[in-house]
Structure 1
């Protein structure tokens, strides 16, 4: 059975410091690629298999864009998003569905409350209920539906690995990662997610993050447009006050977190990091990725410190700050 790395193959990436006592430790693997794509650093074995979860979304969105999905600006950002379900996010998802002439009922993702606390509280006060369009993956699902319609494929059953849109996505993913998918699983939103090496994921994100809209290659032009859209509107990919949006706004990186402790980032100079926390916790993932980019000269220390001060890394006790979640290096 395909599986991820074992505890013996992981290295310590982060610790939780409570009042000067190391309370918990997060182990995992990570890889840093230089701007030219060569390996700058390995922590653990990046040839280990991982499920990228939502860190796969840039690859899925790129496949849809390359297949003719008419996406640009905020719609392209939402195609790549794990959004927090605000009204602003939902309005763009509905625009994508309207372009496909489909209703919200066509979405195959589960109904969910918005991740944004204020939006959820407002819905509760209004006696609202969970909705598919509020689910954090609804932008990706709407994009898959739009891609199906544009190409004349029946949108019914679009989540099946055998559906043309999923075949297209898998082919594009394997092209970008430079390897065959080791396994296919069902993601939390119901879409297929593919097992690959961490290095393969890093290589794909590096290619996307270093692409240009002026490239002679169509796929690279599409990748350049995708990254530009996210950097121009960081709110689209995550949400106000949330990690991916914070680091994109403050540092200009391209960042995409995934469930179970996965994170990928590309700095403005092209340096790329990918990591996976073995215990599945993502609470330290952004901080570790930022410190790795800083360590390799891709980000200034003062800028990283400023961004990290905005991340939810504080440990509290009795209503006071008593420690922090921090990288172990």
Structure 2
């Protein structure tokens, strides 16, 4: 896709502009390496650490969901608690997740058929198996982004905006989302594209992404400014409902529940994590693999003193970082940045 500001095709940073962030070690042998870039912002937005290229554009992918949720909430949709969390979730499709999505739609009088995200099976194997036993098939409501889409539809219904075509860039809701993204990140996206769920996705730098997430994560629900009040309610909802943001056993939910961070992963190696004091990490693993992203993010926050190293060390075994051989542990995936 070409930039709206020139005829030059834009792209993310190159391998030569990245650094090693993590390695995969098997039987004492480093088998694979994950290169990427990362930035750590301090409590006042100052750059504490910069690894690789943090100024070239990246697609935030699902790490854009917090901005989309704030835009919905600032449009007059009073999402609170688990309802706010499902709006920013990449959920695994458990019955509890699906109930939240259907609840949003039902209360607003929006039919489930209005969901424009692709039909999918639940990521959760038990939920998927249950559907198979019932003879049911894939459906948009089970797709991991259905909570975001349901929230968007509620905003359209409540504001009198057209439901059909709600994912088009010129739709009033999408224009509002872009405005919120620019306001919080302080950047105008260089290029826009289509995310996996069909919604617009806008390319910004890791620096801008970290800045925007920090502003959401540190917002207060008693702010005198409406948009920051809503951001504050979202931040509270994420920290209190980690299971909603992904699901049991998944790294985003584990890190939120165990460390109290505001966390959101995104496809193609994107991860953001913010401590309550505002220290924030944004990173991209260049090969698009997320398996080491959470370990790198919490390690960088611990290095910055925002969370305790002992708490990180206790958490890491829960993140699925063990490398096995013959069914037994023979190595690990570990952060390796310097």
Give the one of 70, 74, 78 matched to 1:66. Answer: 74
Are 2:111 and 1:107 equivalent residues in the alignment? no
Query: Which residue does the alignment assign to 2:34?
Result: 26
Count residues in correspondence: 329
Query: Which residue does the alignment assign to 1:89?
Result: 97
Deviation at residue 99 of structure 1 after TM alignment = 2.4
Q: Distance in 2 between matches of 1:61 and 1:150?
A: 15
Query: Which residue does the alignment assign to 2:264?
Result: 256
Map Cα deviations across residues 223-276 of structure 1 (whole Å, 9 max, x no partner): 110010111111111101101100011000010000000000001222100000
Secondary structure of 1:309 counterpart: helix
Are 2:254 and 1:246 equivalent residues in the alignment? yes
Query: Which residue does the alignment assign to 1:206?
Result: 214
Query: Which residue does the alignment assign to 2:50?
Result: 42
Are 2:81 and 1:54 equivalent residues in the alignment? no
Query: Which residue does the alignment assign to 1:235?
Result: 243
Contact 2:322 2:331 in 1 (8 A): yes
- Tell me, which stretches of 5 or more residues in structure 1 are unaligned? none
Query: Which residue does the alignment assign to 1:175?
Result: 183
Q: Distance in 2 between matches of 1:92 and 1:148?
A: 18
Q: Distance in 2 between matches of 1:127 and 1:223?
A: 41
Are 2:134 and 1:123 equivalent residues in the alignment? no
Query: Which residue does the alignment assign to 2:280?
Result: 272
Query: Which residue does the alignment assign to 2:3?
Result: none
Q: Distance in 1 between matches of 2:261 and 2:124?
A: 23
Secondary structure of 1:59 counterpart: helix
Query: Which residue does the alignment assign to 1:283?
Result: 291
Q: Distance in 2 between matches of 1:256 and 1:308?
A: 17
Map Cα deviations across residues 87-121 of structure 1 (whole Å, 9 max, x no partner): 00000100111122111110000011111122112
Secondary structure of 1:226 counterpart: helix
Secondary structure of 1:326 counterpart: strand
Q: Distance in 1 between matches of 2:85 and 2:219?
A: 16
Q: Distance in 2 between matches of 1:195 and 1:268?
A: 26
- Tell me, which stretches of 5 or more residues in structure 2 are unaligned? 1-8
Q: Which moved more, 1:209-218 or 1:53-62?
A: 209-218
Q: Distance in 1 between matches of 2:140 and 2:53?
A: 38
Secondary structure of 1:75 counterpart: helix
Q: Distance in 1 between matches of 2:66 and 2:126?
A: 27
Q: Distance in 2 between matches of 1:111 and 1:265?
A: 29
Map Cα deviations across residues 25-74 of structure 1 (whole Å, 9 max, x no partner): 00000000001111100001211110000001001000110111131111
Give the one of 14, 18, 29 matched to 1:10. Answer: 18
Are 2:234 and 1:226 equivalent residues in the alignment? yes
**What is the CA RMSD across the aligned residues, in angstroms?**
0.8
Query: Which residue does the alignment assign to 2:332?
Result: 324
TM-score (norm 1): 0.99
Are 2:224 and 1:186 equivalent residues in the alignment? no
Secondary structure of 1:215 counterpart: coil
Q: Distance in 2 between matches of 1:221 and 1:116?
A: 33
Map Cα deviations across residues 172-195 of structure 1 (whole Å, 9 max, x no partner): 111111011111100000000000
Deviation at residue 125 of structure 1 after TM alignment = 2.3
Give the one of 160, 163, 170 matched to 2:171. Answer: 163
